[in-house]
């Protein structure tokens, strides 16, 4: 990483794009949990693609859960 100020480290940028095939259009929910099990974010969307920006989150393991009428899926993401 390059920084113009000595001793300054820019924050990492983490953007994740989900392509979710739930079988039919409709309401979907995305939840992000930290390693303590605390929900730190919840979004709702209706398209099959969703972009999640985790820029600024501290290093750690996060669980990303997506829910629709027919499907529930959980994935782990590591910010290092």
Q: Does residue 32 lie in a domain region?
A: yes
Number of domains in the chain: 1
> Does residue 2 form part of some domain?
no
Q: Please state whether the predicted TM-score (pTM) of the whole model is above 0.75.
A: no
Q: What is the CATH number of the domain that holds 60?
A: 2.60.40.3080
Q: Which two tokens stand for residue 19?
A: 């392509």
pLDDT of residue 12: 55
Any domain includes 37: yes
Q: What is the mean pLDDT of the chain?
A: 76
Task: Give tens-digit pLDDT for 35-48.
Answer: 999 999 999 888 77
Strand 49-53 vs strand 15-19: parallel, antiparallel, or unpaired? antiparallel
pLDDT at 62: 93
Half-sphere exposure of 80 (CA within 13 A, CB side): 3
Instruction: Tell me if 28 is assigned to some domain.
Output: yes
Q: Which residues of 13-38 are buried (b: 16+ CB within 10 A; e: fewer)?
A: eeeeebebebeeeeebebebbeeeee
Between 15-19, 24-28, 56-60, 76-80, the lowest mean confidence (pLDDT) is in 15-19
pLDDT of amino acid 3: 33
Do the domain assignments include residue 73? yes
Task: Find the domain containing 24 and state its range.
Answer: 15-79
């Amino acid at each position: 990483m390059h920084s113009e100020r000595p001793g300054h480290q820019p924050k990492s940028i983490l953007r994740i794009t989900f392509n979710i095939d739930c079988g039919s259009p409709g309401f979907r929910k995305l939840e992000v949990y930290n390693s303590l099990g605390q929900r730190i974010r919840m979004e709702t969307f209706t398209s099959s693609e969703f972009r999640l920006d985790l820029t600024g989150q501290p290093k750690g393991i996060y669980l990303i859960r997506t829910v629709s009428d027919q499907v529930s899926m959980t994935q782990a993401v590591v910010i290092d």
